[in-house]
Amino acid sequence: MTAEQLRGMREANPFRPFTLHLADGRALTVPHRDFVSQSPGGRTIIVYRSDEAFSVVDLYLVTEQEVQAPSDSGSSA
């Protein structure tokens, strides 16, 4: 994953939650753009959890980004 790809996902409008899969098998979910930050150089990211815990990750260790399907809340039945 590149720094530009992460910025694009974080700044998407509307934002869609996504999961980052890491080389060690972990998966980090980003439910809102405020839950991820990126170093100025772009290589290091911090992914926060709702309980205030966080993971510091080398962006080069992200093997896949999984974007959730858009919400269907605006459609009527």
Confidence of residue 1 (pLDDT cuts 50, 70, 90): confident
d(CA 62, CA 77): 39
The answer to whether residues 54 and 46 touch, using CB atoms and an 8 Å cutoff, is yes
What pLDDT digit, counting tens, does each position of 3-56 carry?
999 999 999 999 999 999 999 999 999 999 999 999 999 899 999 999 999 999
Closest-CA residue to 20 (of 30, 7, 11)? 30
Q: How far apart are CA 76 and CA 33, in angstroms?
A: 27
Q: Give the pLDDT confidence score for residue 76 in this predicted structure.
A: 47
SS3 11: helix
Q: What is the pLDDT of residue 46?
A: 97
pLDDT-based confidence at 77, cuts 50/70/90?
very low
Instruction: Answer with the residue of higher pLDDT: 76 or 49.
Output: 49
Q: Which domains does the chain possess? A: 3-67 (2.30.30.100)
